[in-house]
């Protein structure tokens, strides 16, 4: 190798390294809620929020959620103690929380992840026993991610809150089974693009195949919500600007290791 080509090779490797460092610096986790044991309404734990949880959501007449010291379990995913559960309700229950850093400006991308587990008897509760997370948009539209109350009752879905434009995934809603749902939200003029990844393996990178919803203009997302009538548990809500931000792994793990705080077998 000539001296010139040697220096060129070193220069190119340096440029690649700087580019990777720049991408890493540009990504960040902007909000996290691990539900340290406390009642979710008026609780003020986590990070990246400008206010505590409060009762809210479309036609939500109650917020009868309870917390547990135990976290949901998911292979290789970093977790902290605590989770929130709701029962099969005869009225819509909901709790919302304002974000310190709203997201959704045109030309930007955000990621949202959370753990979810059906409890009790599937489909029990008002309107088919739905449960999940909402992204509440400034244009009066909400994106619902979770188990629906109509349509694909046995699948996790993306839909406009209320059941419109439902896009079902292939992942079944099985009582007692914890699933990891990851949303990629690409905001643009007009309708935004929402991609749902179901049960990705932490540490394996962003998947290539997923469910896509493209018929909703969400606007700016200023708060998120827990929204339900069915029995379920939710945990580990994360918001970030890259896939790795919302699917963090342990610093050390192997194929047989359980996540911190887990006290049960994986799926």
pLDDT of residue 210: 87
Nearest to 147 by CA among 136, 132, 134: 132
Please spell the DSSP secondary structure of the chain, one letter per residue.
--HHHHHHHHHHHHHHHHHHHHHHHH--EEEEE---SS-STT---SBSBSS--EE-STT--B---EEESPPP--TTB---S-EEEE---SS-EEEEEEEEEEE--TT-EEEEEEEEEE-SSTT-SGGGT-EEEEEEETTS-EEEEEE-SSSSTTEEEEEETTTEEEEEEEEE--TT--EEEEEEEE--SSSEEEEEEESPPTTS---S--EEEEEE----EEEEEEEESS-EEEEEEEEESSHHHHSPBPSS--TTPPPTT--S---
For the chain, what are the domain ranges?
A: 28-246
Q: Is the pLDDT of residue 17 over 70?
A: no
CA distance 184 to 241: 9
How large a percentage of the chain has pLDDT more than 70? 84
Q: Which CATH number fits domain 28-246: 2.60.40.420, 2.60.120.200, 2.40.50.100, 3.40.1280.10?
A: 2.60.120.200
Give 95-104 pLDDT, tens digit per residue.
Answer: 999 999 999 9
Tokens of 126: 């008002």
Q: What is the dihedral of CA 110, 116, 122, 123, to 10 degrees?
A: -30
Nearest to 65 by CA among 38, 46, 47, 45: 38
What average pLDDT does the segment 174-188 reach? 98
pLDDT of residue 255: 43
Give 198-213 pLDDT, tens digit per residue.
Answer: 999 999 999 988 899 9
Mean pLDDT of the chain: 87
Q: What angle do CA 106, 109, 111 make, to 5 degrees?
A: 140
pLDDT of residue 106: 97
Which tops the pLDDT comparison, 237 or 16?
A: 237
Band of residue 251 on the pLDDT scale cut at 50, 70, 90: low
Q: Is the pLDDT of residue 94 over 80?
A: yes
How large a percentage of the chain has pLDDT more than 90? 78
Band of residue 38 on the pLDDT scale cut at 50, 70, 90: confident
């Amino acid at each position: 190798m000539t001296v010139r080509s040697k220096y060129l090779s070193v220069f190119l490797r340096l440029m690649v390294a700087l580019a990777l460092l720049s991408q890493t610096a540009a990504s960040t986790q902007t909000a996290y809620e691990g539900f340290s044991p406390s009642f979710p309404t008026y609780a003020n734990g986590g990070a990246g929020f400008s206010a505590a949880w409060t009762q809210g959501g479309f036609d939500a007449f109650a917020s009868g959620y309870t917390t547990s010291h135990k976290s949901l379990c998911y292979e290789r995913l970093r977790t902290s103690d605590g989770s929130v559960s709701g029962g099969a309700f005869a009225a819509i229950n909901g709790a919302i929380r304002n974000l310190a850093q709203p997201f959704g400006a045109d030309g930007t991308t955000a990621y949202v992840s959370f753990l979810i587990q059906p409890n009790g008897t599937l489909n029990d509760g008002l309107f088919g026993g739905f449960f999940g997370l909402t992204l509440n948009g400034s244009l009066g539209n909400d994106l619902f991610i979770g188990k629906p109350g109509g349509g694909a009752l046995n699948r996790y879905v993306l839909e406009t809150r209320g059941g419109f434009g439902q896009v079902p995934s292939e992942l079944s809603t099985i009582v007692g089974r914890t699933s990891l749902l990851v949303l990629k939200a690409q905001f643009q003029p007009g309708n935004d693009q929402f991609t749902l990844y179901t049960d990705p393996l932490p540490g394996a990178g962003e998947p290539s195949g997923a469910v896509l919803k493209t018929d909703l203009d969400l606007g700016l997302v200023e708060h998120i919500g827990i929204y339900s009538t069915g029995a379920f548990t939710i945990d580990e809500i994360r918001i970030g600007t890259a896939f790795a931000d919302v699917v963090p792994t342990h610093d050390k793990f192997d194929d047989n290791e359980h996540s911190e705080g887990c006290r049960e077998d994986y799926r």
